[in-house]
Amino acid sequence: MTDVFQQILNGVSLGATYALLALGLAIVFSILHLVNFAHGELITIPAYVMLGLYSAGLPWFVFAPAGVIAGVVAALVMERLAFRPVRHASPTTMLLTSFGLSIFIQSFLQILVSPRPQAVPQPEWLRSSFLLGGLRVQSEHLLTIGVTAAALVGLVVLLRRSVIGTAMRAAAEDFDAVRLMGIKANRVIASAFALSGGLAGVAAVLILSRRGTVSPHMGLMPVLSAFVANVIGGIGNLWGAVLGGFLLGFVEVALRAWLPSQVAGFTTGFLFLFVGILLLFKPEGLFGARTAVRV
């Protein structure tokens, strides 16, 4: 049972990161109906900003918040330069734009910095651990769970209590009606991207604390996992995306921990097989696809 609870703790930690990324994707999709596959670069860009600040000699408590800010800024720049010009184009055009932007940023980082992974050492306290009732609890687990919980609570407060949050929820219901009420579309969409980028920046800090290296392609697998989490929860359903992220984290950890060593290398394949079987019975996702921001 100790091993089971240990894997549950690991699943919560990994699922929390997936939940943040899936939520960022869902926020943009709920308003623009865009699956932004350049969302992975909102992990990569903050990670390289943190690498640069670390190289300049700044401590973790400075470069980690700077990484989150970098995610917000990068998302706003993406929206203004890449997605706003094609906003009224077909969904296929917007999707291809996101793919092109992703490839451009990856190639740019490979040429400008390096195609090889580079280390960003994490502080000693983040690598420490302690025993709690037989469980090995790492500081990184506590950081991930605590930061994710704070981010989700903050998002709920923002969407329910602020003017821009109300505007975003209304835009997800009926964008044309919102514009007729005098609310500027550019402001609402930019706010959605800023939220998305902030969540990705937080995820970048958590991913970097776990892996300790940055690379131009580091956002690829996390964004694919976030997309799968959205599909599991129901695309456009914010809390479905969060729960889908946690479920995906649990399943991935369980497979890696308990699959026989002979087939452990096929974990990703088994994971997608699980999702495929799930969608055969629930094609709309576990919690139903929605196009509105529900909180």
Any domain includes 118? no
Any domain includes 12? yes
Domain coverage including residue 33? 2-111+136-281
Any domain includes 127? no
Structure tokens at 52: 């640069």
Any domain includes 289? no
Mean pLDDT of 270-279: 81
Please report the pLDDT score of residue 161 as a whole number.
Answer: 83
Is the pLDDT score of 284 beyond 80?
no
Q: Which domain CATH number covers 274? A: 1.10.3470
- The tens digit of pLDDT for each residue in 252-263 reads 888 888 778 777
- The tens digit of pLDDT for each residue in 123-137 reads 888 888 777 777 778
Any domain includes 287? no
- The tens digit of pLDDT for each residue in 55-105 reads 999 999 999 999 999 999 999 999 999 999 988 888 889 989 999 999 999
Any domain includes 192? yes
Please report the pLDDT score of residue 140 as a whole number.
Answer: 85
Mean pLDDT of 164-177: 74
- Which residues sit opposite 130 in a β-bridge? 137
Mean pLDDT of 8-12: 86
Please report the pLDDT score of residue 279 as a whole number.
Answer: 78
Domain count, the chain: 1
- The tens digit of pLDDT for each residue in 22-52 reads 999 988 888 888 889 899 999 999 999 999 9
- The tens digit of pLDDT for each residue in 207-222 reads 998 888 999 999 998 9
pLDDT band of 236, cuts 50, 70, 90: confident
Instruction: Give this prediction's pTM.
Output: 0.89
C-alpha dist (Å) from residue 194 to 1, 3, 24, 27, 200: 42, 39, 9, 10, 10
Is the pLDDT score of 4 beyond 50?
yes
Any domain includes 155? yes
Is the pLDDT score of 190 beyond 70?
yes
Radius of gyration for the alpha carbons in the chain, expressed in angstroms and rounded:
19
Any domain includes 123? no
